[in-house]
Amino acid sequence: MNKMKQTNNYMFAGYDTVELAKKYGTPLYVLSEESIRSRCKEISTDFLGKYENSKAVYASKAFLTMTMCKIIESEGLGLDVVSGGELYTAIKAGFPMDRIMFHGNNKSYDELEMAINNEVGRIVVDHIDELYFIEEIGARMDKTVKILIRVAPGVEGHTHKYITTGQKDSKFGIPLDKVTIDEAVSKAIASKHIELMGFHFHIGSNLFENDSYVAAVKTIMNLYKRLKDDFNFVAKELNTGGGFGIYYTEKDCVKPLKYFTDAIMKAIYDCCQELDLDMPGVIIEPGRWIVGEAGITLYTVGAVKEIPGIRTYASVDGGLPDNPRPALYSAEYKAVVANKYGLKPDRLATIAGRCCETGDILIWDLEVPEIKRGDILAVLSTGAYNYSMANNYNRIPRPAVLLLSKDGEKVIVERETYEDLLRKEVVPF
Q: Which of 224, 385, 401, 403 binds ligand LLP (CB under 6 A)?
A: 385
CA distances from 217 to 25, 78, 172, 176, 240 (A): 47, 22, 17, 13, 8
Q: Cβ 336 to ligand LLP, closest distance in Å?
A: 22
Q: Which of 102, 208, 213, 289 binds ligand LLP (CB under 6 A)?
A: 289
CB distance 264 to 217 below 8 Å: yes
288 is in an annotated binding site: yes
Q: Assess 59 for contact with ligand LLP (CB under 6 A).
A: yes
- Provide the mask over 356-375, with x wherever binding to ligand LLP is found by CB under 6 A and - wherever it is not: --------------------
Q: Which of 107, 325, 340, 354 binds ligand LLP (CB under 6 A)?
A: 325
Helix axis angle, 211-231 to 178-190, nearest 10°: 60
Which of 166, 176, 183, 177 minimizes the C-alpha distance to 128? 183
Q: Is 96 left (phi over 0), alpha (psi -120 to 50) or beta?
A: beta
Residue 69 catalytic?
Answer: no
Looking at the Cβ atoms of 269 and 329, the one nearer to ligand LLP is 329
How wide is the angle at C-alpha 68 spanned by C-alphas 66 and 70, nearest 5°? 75
Which of 184, 100, 160, 399 minimizes the C-alpha distance to 288? 160
Query: Distance between CA atoms of 177 and 179, rounded to whole angstroms?
Result: 6
Which of 172, 245, 241 minimizes the C-alpha distance to 213? 241
385 is in an annotated binding site: yes
How wide is the angle at C-alpha 278 spanned by C-alphas 275 and 283, nearest 5°? 110
Choose the catalytic residue: 40, 272, 355, 356.
Answer: 356
Q: Cβ 333 to ligand LLP, closest distance in Å?
A: 12
Stretch that binds ligand LLP, among 66-74, 199-207, 266-274, 399-407 (CB under 6 A): 199-207
Q: Assess 242 for contact with ligand LLP (CB under 6 A).
A: yes
Q: Assess 202 for contact with ligand LLP (CB under 6 A).
A: yes
Residues in the chain: 429
Catalytic site positions? 356
Which residues does the annotation place in the binding site? 243, 285-288, 325, 329, 357, 385
Which residues does the annotation place in the binding site for substrate? 288, 325, 329, 357, 385
List residues binding ligand LLP (CB under 6 A).
Answer: 59, 61-62, 80, 103, 163, 165, 202, 205-206, 241-244, 285-289, 325, 329, 385, 389
Which residues does the annotation place in the binding site for pyridoxal 5'-phosphate? 243, 285-288, 385
